[in-house]
Amino acid sequence: MIDFEILIISITIFVLAIFIGYEVITKVPPTLHTPLMSGSNAISGIVIIGALLVAGSTDGIIPKIIGSIAVGLSVINVVGGFLVTDRMLSMFKKGNDKK
């Protein structure tokens, strides 16, 4: 029964995080989107570290697979976030300073 309670609590936290994240993102003015992207990239970097710890420290095959998938998706998120942030920052450069 304890596992079921932990599952319900985890799902509740996940749903609340989705709701709060949506509300925060929609309330941010466009001038703050670049710093927000940088902050989310830092959080994704923390997720990569956590996923590496989970994938490397468990004995079962299922947690290793889920941890490996989490590592892959987090890396994609970080790289994509840095590409989008770089593109957004290049819009603020003057004509002569662009790449």
Q: Nearest Cα to 41, choosing from 70, 83, 72?
A: 83
Helix (H) or strand (E) segment spanning residue 91 = none
Query: pTM of this prediction?
Result: 0.59
How much is the pLDDT for 13? 94
Q: What distance in Å separates the CA atoms of residue 3 and residue 11, rounded to the nearest whole number? A: 12
How much is the pLDDT for 12? 94
pLDDT per residue as tens digits for the range 5-15: 888 998 999 99
**Which pLDDT band holds residue 16 (cuts at 50, 70, 90)?**
very high
